[in-house]
């Protein structure tokens, strides 16, 4: 064994006893599993548990459609398919309980990831360093949080780490079997998130170069073929699917629009910021996927004409061509504005190594502070791991350890794959494997210095950890990370979060889970955090309406309109309250206001069709119902109006109709007296005054 330098960790060439390795791996796995099961139990007691939000909603909806036989969509894939298929199989086996089982399975996969980290640390560094790396991963709070989110990050991280483990083993193996596994895991990672192409591809090429330097026989070529065969097959499967859809896209087409989101004049390098889109119907719509097409129309024809063409369904380029369009536009911006590009990438670098977990989907910092005792008790954060990793890196003797050099190459490639787009807490997870390994070596060095009473080394190590940790925790208030001009200056990277928006998300999820009282409480907390957030008032109104408190619902919707007059959902929902208050004329005027602003609004068209059919205006009702069905062919209200128009009240008893449509038909059988005036031009302020006066006179009594 080579003699260690005075201040370095000696990386041994002898392997520890296999029995001892198995025992410590079991220890690491047990600690990780206990922590994760505790968090899962805590989550399961929350009123919002099991309700998918934002990107989780997209994944679950796509999986549900696949499980029900609708395939992966009518066009080429926008997102990679593996996680959709994982959730889809789970949905086939467990139905809607898939949303409860998926976090549990992912948390268990997270525990397995910690075991892999410990094993990798032992193989690359030292026994003690590997155990420390595994325990750091087991107690790392952000990782536990992200594992419980119904997103593809956990599966992606596990596959990448397994790829890294087997890649290093394959370089020392005498058979090609490990190389086959390398290609298999790299391909699976790529069809989970295509960023893996930027990591696994260069790693495989570098591996072949190293093997050629070591061996002059044919083994490197056989190794390359063994790795590339499963990798190419797996990457080729979704690509062939896209070709069959008439669009030769490599895996999926989300890359271009995401590249533009991270590299445009208004980008802050972290948050997804897009122009607000008008909602259609009740079905969740991914604003990123939608903007890939809508933004193209706006660029080509201007805002107003572009919106009209988009909502009219005008033909657009193929998704792969749209992706290429956004790539070119972003690259052109970066090349034409080098100074702004440099500033943007400086912000991304700061975010990449900052302790703050930038929000993307849900906010770890918010959950830790407000929702989870388990997360608050976990002692390991990003700043600590980074600081210990720097310590370990300075004493790891990287020059004497080829495996550690491979970890550095992996970390560089993973960093580039994140910086290319935008930086967020869950998106930088691929950097964790080498960071944990080097952090474990840092723990070992500090522990060895303490054991040997090398106080100077202890002091220098503690100083380095404190310095790096402090820099990582620094908020950089002099740098503008805001995603909206409405935010205050001077908060630095913490501006990437929004506590009010997080409270609203919890309210939405609680309401979906049929917990309106808890949803009301969350919405009120959102308003307390930001009294100018229209969505908070909208969700508060929805929760109050679900509880039967029409007065509070109407007041909340009118407040939402006051804060954001252009927001159409509040008008729609206020019209629903008007119907319940027997203010049918006012409801009709509110629906018409929405349709004048957005003729394609499904909800307003369908609700107005219901109202007109009950009022006896069958022709107008049919017109608005057909208009609604153009945007949402399965809309229950619109389908009920068409069925009622064709067959009358007898249709309600048909056993072939969905339950929701039958319920709507029963409502259509209840006529509205008088005659609705669709030509009224009175200002909406008079409508609001009428609603308020009705509430004040007791027309909207709520629960005690």
Could you give the CA distance from residue 203 to residue 189 in angstroms, rounded to a whole number? Answer: 14
Whether residue 213 has pLDDT greater than 70: yes
- Structural tokens at position 523: 């919405």
CATH class of 548-696: mainly alpha
Per-residue DSSP letter, 174: S
pLDDT of residue 392: 92
Given pLDDT bands bounded at 50, 70 and 90, which one contains residue 12? low
Question: What 3-state class would DSSP assign to 140?
Answer: strand
Question: What 3-state class would DSSP assign to 362?
Answer: strand
For the chain, what is the mean pLDDT? 88
Cβ(558)–Cβ(574) below 8 Å: yes
C-alpha 470 chain-centroid distance: 29
Cβ(448)–Cβ(392) below 8 Å: no
pLDDT in tens, 584-620: 999 999 999 999 888 888 888 988 988 888 888 888 8
pLDDT of residue 313: 78
**How many H-runs (helices) and E-runs (strands) does the chain carry?**
32, 0
Q: How far is CA 640 from CA 87, 582, 601, 659, in A?
A: 32, 21, 18, 11
- Number of Cβ within 10 Å of residue 476's Cβ equals 17
**Helix/strand/coil (H, E, C) string of 252-317?**
CCCHHHHHHHHCCCCCCCCCCCCCCCCCCCCCCCCHHHHHHHHHHHHHHHCHHHHHHHHHCCCCCC
- Structural tokens at position 65: 């459609």
Mean pLDDT, residues 405-426 taken together: 95
Question: What 3-state class would DSSP assign to 380?
Answer: strand
Q: How far is CA 593 from CA 2, 557, 580, 630, in A?
A: 80, 15, 19, 20
Least Cα distance to 461 among 531, 517, 401, 387 occurs for 387
pLDDT of residue 702: 42
| Angle, vertex CA 477, rays to CA 476 and CA 478, nearest 5 | 90
Could you give the CA distance from residue 546 to residue 519 in angstroms, rounded to a whole number? Answer: 10
Could you give the CA distance from residue 456 to residue 14 in angstroms, rounded to a whole number? Answer: 30
Q: Give the helix/strand (H/E) hosting 638.
A: helix 636-647
Mean pLDDT, residues 473-482 taken together: 88
Could you give the CA distance from residue 270 to residue 347 in angstroms, rounded to a whole number? Answer: 8
Q: Specify which residues 362 forms β-bridges with.
A: 360
pLDDT of residue 398: 61
Measured torsion, CA atoms of residues 478, 483, 486, 488, in degrees rounded to the nearest 10: -20
Per-residue DSSP letter, 77: -
Residue labelled with tokens 């219901």: 610
DSSP 564-628: -TT-HHHHHHHHHHHHHTT-HHHHHHHHHHHHHH-TT-HHHHHHHHHHHHHTT-HHHHHHHHHHH
- Structural tokens at position 169: 């083993």
pLDDT of residue 284: 58
Could you give the CA distance from residue 590 to residue 433 in angstroms, rounded to a whole number? Answer: 55
pLDDT of residue 173: 82
pLDDT of residue 701: 42
Could you give the CA distance from residue 129 to residue 125 in angstroms, rounded to a whole number? Answer: 6
476 Rama class: left (phi>0) / alpha (psi -120 to 50) / beta: left
Given pLDDT bands bounded at 50, 70 and 90, which one contains residue 704? very low
- Locate all alpha helices (DSSP H) within 337-431, ordered by sequence: 338-352, 364-370, 373-377, 382-395, 402-419
Residue labelled with tokens 């302020």: 685
Residue labelled with tokens 């459609």: 65
C-alpha 20 chain-centroid distance: 39
Mean pLDDT, residues 358-382 taken together: 95
- More reliable by pLDDT, 144 or 219: 144
Q: Provide long-range contacts, Cβ within 8 A and 24+ apart, for 21-26.
A: 21/119, 21/122, 21/127, 24/118, 24/127, 24/130, 24/131, 24/134, 25/115, 25/118, 25/119, 25/134
Question: What 3-state class would DSSP assign to 112?
Answer: helix
Q: Give the helix/strand (H/E) hosting 690.
A: helix 684-696
- Structural tokens at position 415: 């960093």
DSSP 515-562: -HHHHHHHHHHHHHH-TT-HHHHHHHHHHHHHTT-HHHHHHHHHHHHH
Per-residue DSSP letter, 15: P
Mean pLDDT, residues 460-465 taken together: 92
pLDDT of residue 337: 95
pLDDT in tens, 95-122: 889 999 999 999 999 999 999 999 999 9
C-alpha 557 chain-centroid distance: 28
Could you give the CA distance from residue 66 to residue 94 in angstroms, rounded to a whole number? Answer: 14
Least Cα distance to 676 among 605, 592, 599, 600 occurs for 592
pLDDT in tens, 51-96: 998 899 999 999 999 999 888 888 899 999 999 999 999 999 998 8
Could you give the CA distance from residue 670 to residue 560 in angstroms, rounded to a whole number? Answer: 31
pLDDT in tens, 646-682: 765 555 455 555 666 667 777 777 888 888 888 888 8
Question: Taking the chain, what is the end-to-end CA distance rounded to the nearest angstrom?
Answer: 79
Q: Is the pTM of this model over 0.95?
A: no
pLDDT of residue 431: 97
- Structural tokens at position 25: 């791996």
Given pLDDT bands bounded at 50, 70 and 90, which one contains residue 351? very high
Least Cα distance to 404 among 54, 123, 80, 71 occurs for 123
In the chain, where the domains are located: 18-252+353-472, 548-696
pLDDT in tens, 145-184: 999 999 999 999 999 999 999 999 998 888 889 999 999 9
Least Cα distance to 678 among 633, 635, 620 occurs for 620
Mean pLDDT, residues 351-376 taken together: 94
Could you give the CA distance from residue 197 to residue 200 in angstroms, rounded to a whole number? Answer: 5
69 Rama class: left (phi>0) / alpha (psi -120 to 50) / beta: left
Given pLDDT bands bounded at 50, 70 and 90, which one contains residue 6? very low
pLDDT of residue 699: 60
pLDDT in tens, 530-588: 999 999 999 999 999 999 999 999 999 999 999 999 888 999 999 999 989 989 999 99
Provide the sign of the torsion angle of the four alpha carbons 402, 404, 408, 410, taken in this order.
positive
Least Cα distance to 103 among 39, 156, 47 occurs for 39
% of the chain exceeding 70 in pLDDT: 92
Could you give the CA distance from residue 564 to residue 553 in angstroms, rounded to a whole number? Answer: 16
Could you give the CA distance from residue 575 to residue 591 in angstroms, rounded to a whole number? Answer: 7
Could you give the CA distance from residue 446 to residue 394 in angstroms, rounded to a whole number? Answer: 12
Mean pLDDT, residues 320-336 taken together: 95
């Amino acid at each position: 064994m080579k003699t260690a330098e005075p201040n370095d960790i000696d990386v041994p060439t002898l392997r520890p006893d296999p029995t001892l390795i198995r025992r410590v791996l079991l220890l690491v796995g047990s600690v990780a599993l206990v922590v994760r099961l505790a968090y899962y139990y805590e989550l399961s007691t929350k009123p919002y548990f099991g309700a998918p939000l934002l990107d989780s909603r997209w994944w679950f909806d796509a999986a549900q459609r696949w499980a029900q036989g609708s395939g992966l969509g009518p066009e080429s894939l926008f997102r990679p398919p593996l996680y959709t298929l994982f959730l889809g199989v789970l949905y086939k086996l467990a139905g809607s309980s898939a949303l409860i089982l998926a976090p549990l399975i992912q948390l268990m996969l997270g525990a397995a990831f910690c075991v892999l980290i410990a094993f990798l640390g032992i193989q690359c560094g030292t026994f003690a360093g590997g155990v420390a790396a595994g325990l750091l991963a087991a107690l790392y709070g952000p990782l536990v949080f992200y594992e419980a989110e119904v997103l593809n990050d956990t599966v992606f991280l596990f596959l990448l780490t397994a790829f890294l483990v087997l890649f290093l083993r394959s370089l020392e193996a005498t058979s090609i079997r490990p190389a086959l596994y390398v290609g298999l895991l790299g391909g699976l990672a790529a069809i989970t998130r295509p960023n893996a192409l930027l990591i696994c591809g260069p790693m495989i090429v570098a591996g072949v170069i190293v093997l050629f330097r070591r061996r002059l026989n044919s083994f490197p070529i056989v190794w390359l073929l063994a790795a590339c065969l499963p990798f190419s097959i797996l990457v080729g499967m979704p690509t062939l699917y896209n070709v069959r859809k008439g669009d030769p896209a490599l895996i999926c087409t989300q890359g271009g629009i995401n590249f533009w989101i991270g590299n445009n004049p208004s980008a802050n390098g972290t948050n997804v910021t897009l122009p607000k889109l008008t909602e259609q119907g009740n079905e969740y719509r991914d604003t990123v996927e939608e903007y890939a097409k809508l933004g193209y129309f706006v660029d080509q024809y201007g805002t107003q004409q572009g919106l009209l063409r988009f909502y009219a369904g005008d033909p657009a380029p193929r998704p792969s061509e749209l992706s290429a369009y956004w790539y070119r536009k972003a690259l052109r911006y970066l090349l034409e504005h080098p100074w702004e590009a440099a500033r943007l990438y400086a912000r991304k670098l700061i975010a990449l190594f900052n302790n703050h977990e930038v929000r993307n989907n849900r906010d770890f910092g918010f959950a830790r502070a407000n929702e989870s005792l388990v997360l608050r008790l976990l002692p390991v954060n990003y700043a600590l791991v980074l600081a210990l990793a720097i310590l370990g890196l300075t004493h790891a003797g990287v020059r004497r350890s080829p495996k550690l050099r491979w970890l550095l190459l992996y970390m560089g490639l993973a960093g580039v794959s994140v910086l290319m787009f935008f930086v967020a807490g869950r998106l930088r997870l691929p950097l964790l494997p080498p960071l944990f390994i080097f952090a474990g070596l840092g723990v070992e060095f500090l522990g060895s210095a303490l054991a040997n009473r090398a106080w100077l080394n202890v002091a220098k190590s503690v100083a380095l950890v404190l310095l790096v940790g402090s820099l990582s925790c620094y908020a950089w208030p002099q740098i503008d990370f805001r995603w909206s001009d409405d935010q205050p200056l001077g908060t630095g990277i913490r501006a990437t979060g929004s506590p009010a928006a997080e409270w609203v998300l919890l309210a939405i999820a609680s309401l979906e889970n049929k917990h309106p009282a808890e949803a009301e409480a969350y919405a009120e907390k959102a308003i307390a955090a930001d009294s100018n957030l229209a969505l908070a008032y909208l969700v508060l109104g929805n929760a109050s309406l679900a509880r039967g408190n029409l007065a509070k619902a109407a007041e909340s919707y009118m407040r939402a309109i006051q804060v954001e007059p252009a927001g159409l959902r509040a008008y729609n929902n206020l019209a629903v309250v008007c119907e319940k208050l027997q203010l049918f004329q006012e409801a009709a005027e509110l629906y018409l206001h929405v349709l004048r602003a957005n003729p394609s609004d499904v909800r307003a068209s369908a609700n107005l069709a219901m109202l007109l059919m009950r009022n006896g205006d069958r022709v107008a009702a049919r017109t608005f119902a057909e208009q609604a069905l153009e945007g949402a062919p399965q809309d229950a209200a619109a389908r009920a109006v068409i069925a009622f128009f064709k067959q009358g009240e007898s249709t309600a008893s048909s056993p072939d109709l969905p339950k929701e449509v039958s319920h709507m038909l029963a409502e259509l059988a209840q006529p509205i007296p008088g005659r609705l005036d669709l030509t009224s031009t009175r200002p909406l302020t008079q409508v609001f005054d009428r609603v308020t006066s009705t509430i004040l006179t007791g027309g909207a009594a709520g629960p005690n």
